[in-house]
């Protein structure tokens, strides 16, 4: 059986991690180890889209999550937006820029145009706002996204896209979707394809800057 590109990418990252981890502090070593483990799980589940998306999001969560006492905001999206901003600032090789503007511009537009992963659509479905309100907020949000695209603002567009994928994450993890179902395949394919390419970039940047003050991960290892 041929080895997939994802498995090869994982193996390359794992070799680098083994080589460089002596220079990692405990916080970074744990983040990279956990994130890599879940990315590995994702590339091994390529025939199960739902499981692959879940493991990719856990890989992302392992990279960005931090102690509540260190977080600027209690909002989960605020935490990963700050993390993404830091990654873009550190990314001297412009891996994230190339990912957004060279490799995945069409996929990201599909994500932005999909109202099923826009939180205010579901507020409308739940009766928490009117149809007019969710549609206006969707229009306004996508005007802001188009401006970010016109300016090639990598931080902004990544934050917007990941916020939309967070809605999909909530839908699946809170039991709002059927495993291997039919109703959310389009957004799930777009999201999974993008995250499969995003996570190696994230892990690469983490390892490239071991001196950066990465915060302590949630649930550190406790010695008995």
The per-residue pLDDT for range 39-57, each reduced to its tens digit, is 999 999 989 999 999 999 9
H-helix or E-strand spanning residue 50 = helix 49-64
Burial (0-12, 13-18, 19+ Cβ within 10 Å), 172: buried
* Average confidence (pLDDT) over 103-130: 96
First to last CA, the chain: 42
Q: Does residue 219 lie in a domain region? A: no
**Overall size of the chain counted in residues:** 224
Q: Does residue 64 lie in a domain region? A: yes
Q: Give the long-range contacts of residues 110-116, CB within 8 A, separation 24 or more.
A: 110/186, 110/190, 111/161, 111/164, 111/165, 111/187, 111/190, 111/191, 111/194, 112/142, 112/145, 112/160, 112/161, 112/164, 113/142, 114/164, 114/186, 114/187, 114/190, 116/184, 116/187
Q: At what angle do helices 105-113 and 131-150 cross, to 10 degrees?
A: 160
Q: Is 67 helix (H, G, I), strand (E, B) or coil?
A: coil
- The yes-or-no verdict on residue 17 having pLDDT over 90 is yes
- The yes-or-no verdict on residue 75 having pLDDT over 80 is no
pLDDT in tens, 80-98: 999 999 999 999 999 999 9
Q: Does residue 74 lie in a domain region? A: yes
pLDDT bin (cut points 50, 70, 90) of residue 2 is: low
pLDDT in tens, 125-161: 999 999 999 999 999 999 999 999 999 999 999 999 9
Q: Does residue 224 lie in a domain region? A: no
Q: Does residue 27 lie in a domain region? A: yes
Q: Does residue 3 lie in a domain region? A: no
Q: Does residue 134 lie in a domain region? A: yes
Rounded mean pLDDT of the chain?
92
Q: Does residue 194 lie in a domain region? A: yes
Domain that holds residue 98: 9-208
Please give the tally of structural domains in the chain.
1
């Amino acid at each position: 059986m041929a080895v997939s590109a994802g498995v090869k990418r994982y193996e390359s990252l794992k070799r680098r991690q083994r080589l460089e981890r002596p220079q990692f502090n405990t916080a970074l070593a744990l983040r990279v180890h956990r994130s890599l483990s879940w990315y590995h799980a994702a590339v091994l589940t390529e025939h199960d889209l739902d499981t692959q998306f879940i493991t990719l999001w856990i890989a992302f969560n392992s990279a960005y999550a931090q102690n509540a006492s260190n977080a600027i905001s209690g909002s989960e999206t605020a935490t990963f937006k700050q993390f993404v901003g830091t990654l873009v600032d550190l990314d001297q090789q412009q891996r994230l820029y190339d990912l957004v503007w060279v490799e995945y511009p069409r996929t990201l537009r599909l994500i932005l145009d999909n109202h099923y992963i826009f939180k205010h659509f579901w507020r409308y479905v739940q009766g928490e706002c009117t149809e007019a309100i969710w549609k206006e907020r969707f229009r306004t949000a996508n005007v802001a996204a188009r401006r970010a695209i016109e300016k090639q603002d990598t931080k902004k567009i990544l934050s917007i896209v990941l916020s939309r994928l967070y809605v999909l994450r909530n839908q699946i993890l809170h039991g709002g979707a059927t495993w291997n179902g039919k109703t959310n395949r389009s957004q799930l394919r777009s999201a999974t394809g993008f995250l499969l390419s995003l996570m190696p970039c994230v892990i690469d940047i983490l390892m490239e800057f071991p001196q950066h003050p990465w915060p302590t991960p949630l649930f550190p290892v406790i010695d008995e």
